[in-house]
């Protein structure tokens, strides 16, 4: 958004544009002057988060290159908050974690104008730009909570409601409310404790709305619309001696077929589900065995991808060893039912994998779009590093899938306990599945222990123990669970506790430093 604004004063050269990170010193200077009695300027890390989350919604007016006025906003799904909300709740403590690109309302976060430019109607220009943005994005309305700073002069004699009525009738002037009413905003109601620290307004605020007359309700497609629930199927895989790769694919197809018959949206296989192929021939050492196994990988993924299309089911093909530039990796492939293919590399090889197999860790952490929501994959040991799941959660993760391979119960419990914690702290579902049985001729894969499970957040809308379902330990079987994604959205904003929303971003953060 860029627009040159011509004025009659030759000393000014105003330009309307989107804010940039380099503008923070100017923003800080304005807010120090404007908000001396209301908390001071926004912290730089919050400012950066706002621009990163919704850059188009943060606009300013500059004069000869210096920012002199600015407006901040966020898109929200308004029904999640309703008319009774606080500033911190609907803005995510100003970090805009509530931003929803598919929402229906543009919410006004802040407007500030340098005192040196009062009287030039720059606030009106910013409001007009907001209206233009609202119309361009086809949003239903602009909503904002407005301070009533002059109420402090009338608080002893007028209720907030009567004060607002007098401002409407122009019997009383309020620098913010009067301005908003003159810009076609209507007062919907009075909010209490909207900004508790706002002593001038005694904690009160007006809930204001401007309706977009050109709004066209978005029609969901009759077919192919994104679903609000997902049926996931886990395969608790029996490790058994095999004679060929074809026999392995036949076993995979059996489970894919079965889960497809139950209309599952996704099938999850365990880590190294193809390990039995290492027993087809004798190997002189473990490195030779795992690298020989990697020779099957390309064909295995090609066959699994065909099954995803054939049976109309998304498949996470556990994980398999892959050699790239003569380096060994552990890779999970996500085979969509539309024929597309993506991958997630294991970030943290275990000490065994690094020492015995000389395995490398991947350098990219991903979140995948599906026809039912956003998912992530963390392979076994990776679930024990909470930073990874948190980074995925910040990208909108709804379901985290964890294919694992553990030999003993204590190894399994590390994966299980960490997966359970990730579900609670990131307000998402976590699905884990592993393998059972034994492979006597395969070094390092002699025994298996697994109990597959699906974990949920811990709140009233979910099971009391935050366990959706789990299998019988050490028995080959499937686990099928329906996951309600709308419950996650409700939890984010209305939960008994809100682990994502209540993070102290002013004190700590996680930065991804990889590729």
Q: How far apart are CA 163 and CA 365, in angstroms?
A: 53
Please answer whether residues 386 and 422 qualify as being in contact, where contact means their C-beta atoms are separated by less than 8 angstroms: yes
Q: Is 230 helix (H, G, I), strand (E, B) or coil?
A: strand
Structure tokens at 313: 């089911």
Q: For the chain, how many residues are written? A: 515
Nearest Cα neighbor of 237 from 248, 245, 227 is 248
DSSP state of 405: -
Residue with tokens 């002037």: 173
Q: Which residue has the tokens 């497809």?
A: 260
Which three-class secondary structure state does DSSP give residue 373?
A: coil
From 159, 157, 153, select the one nearest 174 (Cα to Cα).
153
Is 395 strand, coil or helix? coil
Name the DSSP class of 155. Answer: T
**Is 271 noted as a catalytic residue in this protein?**
yes
Answer yes or no: are the C-beta atoms of 73 and 60 closer than 8 Å.
no
Residue 194 to residue 191: CA distance in whole angstroms: 6
Active site residue: 346, 353, 418, 428, which one?
346
Reference 18, options 98, 73, 64; nearest CA is: 73
User: Helix, strand or coil for residue 107?
Assistant: strand
Tokens encoding 472? 């019988």
4: its two tokens: 């040159």
Residues whose CB is less than 8 angstroms from the CB of residue 287 and which lie 6 or more positions away in sequence, other chains included: 356, 357, 358
CA distance 363 to 345: 8
* 339, two tokens: 């024929």
Residue whose entry in the numeric block shows the structure tokens 């802040």: 110
Whether 380 is catalytic is: yes
Per the residue annotation, which of 380, 418, 428, 487 is the catalytic one? 380
In this structure, are residues 198 and 155 in contact, taking their beta carbons and an 8 Å threshold? no
User: Residue 258 and residue 471: Cα distance in Å, rounded?
Assistant: 17
Catalytic residue among 62, 200, 209, 271: 271
- DSSP class of 23: G
Cβ atoms within 10 A of the Cβ of 27, count?
A: 21
Beta strand 186-192 pairing with 327-335 = unpaired
| 258 and 478 Cβ atoms separated by less than 8 Å | yes
Classified as helix, coil or strand, 266 is strand
Q: What is the C-alpha to C-alpha distance for residues 98 and 501, in angstroms, rounded to an integer? A: 8
Minimal CA–CA distance to 201: which of 32, 39, 27?
39
Catalytic site positions:
271, 346, 380
């Amino acid at each position: 958004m860029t627009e040159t604004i011509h004025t009659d004063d030759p000393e000014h050269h105003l330009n309307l544009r989107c804010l940039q990170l380099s503008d923070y010193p100017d923003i800080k200077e304005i807010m120090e002057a404007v908000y001396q009695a209301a908390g001071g300027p926004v912290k730089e890390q919050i400012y950066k988060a706002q621009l990163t989350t919704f850059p188009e919604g943060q606009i300013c007016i500059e004069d000869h290159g210096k920012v002199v006025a600015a407006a901040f906003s966020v898109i929200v799904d308004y029904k999640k908050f309703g008319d009774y909300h606080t500033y911190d709740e609907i803005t995510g403590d100003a970090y805009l974690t509530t931003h929803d690109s598919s929402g229906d309302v543009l919410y006004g976060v802040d407007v500030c104008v340098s005192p040196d430019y009062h009287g030039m109607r720059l606030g009106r220009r910013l409001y007009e730009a907001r209206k233009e943005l609202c119309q361009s994005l086809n949003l239903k309305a602009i909503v904002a909570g407005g301070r009533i700073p002059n109420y402090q002069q009338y608080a002893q004699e007028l209720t907030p409601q009567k004060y607002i009525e007098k401002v409407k009738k122009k019997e009383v002037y309020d620098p913010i409310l009067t301005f908003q009413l003159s810009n076609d905003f209507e007062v919907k109601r009075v909010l209490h404790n909207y900004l508790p620290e706002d002593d001038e307004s005694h904690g009160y605020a007006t809930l204001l709305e401007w309706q977009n007359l050109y709004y066209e309700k978005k029609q969901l497609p009759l077919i192919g619309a994104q679903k609000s629930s997902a049926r996931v199927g886990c395969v608790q895989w029996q490790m058994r001696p095999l004679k060929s790769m074809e026999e392995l694919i036949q076993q995979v197809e059996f489970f894919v077929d079965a889960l497809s018959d139950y209309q599952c949206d996704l099938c999850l296989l365990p880590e190294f589900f193809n390990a039995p192929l290492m027993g087809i021939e004798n190997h002189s050492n473990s490195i030779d065995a795992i690298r020989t196994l990697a020779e099957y990988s390309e064909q295995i993924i090609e066959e699994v991808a065909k099954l995803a299309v054939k049976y109309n089911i998304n498949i996470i093909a556990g994980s398999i060893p892959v050699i790239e530039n003569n380096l060994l990796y552990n890779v999970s492939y996500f085979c969509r039912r539309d024929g597309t293919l993506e991958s997630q590399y294991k970030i943290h090889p275990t000490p065994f994998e690094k020492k015995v197999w000389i395995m490398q860790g991947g350098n990219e952490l991903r979140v995948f779009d599906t026809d039912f929501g956003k998912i992530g994959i963390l392979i076994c040991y990776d679930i024990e590093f909470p930073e990874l799941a948190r980074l995925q959660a910040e990208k909108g993760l709804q379901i985290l899938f964890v294919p694992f391979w553990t030999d003993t119960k204590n190894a399994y419990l590390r994966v299980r306990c960490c997966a359970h914690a990730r579900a609670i702290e990131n307000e998402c579902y976590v699905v884990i599945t592993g393998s059972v049985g034994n492979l006597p001729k395969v070094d390092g894969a002699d025994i298996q222990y697994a109990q597959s499970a699906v974990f949920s957040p811990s709140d009233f809308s979910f099971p009391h123990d935050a366990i959706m379902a789990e299998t019988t330990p050490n028995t080959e079987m499937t686990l099928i669970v329906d996951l309600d994604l709308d419950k996650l959205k409700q939890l984010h904003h209305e939960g008994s506790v809100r682990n994502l929303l209540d993070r102290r971003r002013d004190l700590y953060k996680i930065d991804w430093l990889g590729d």
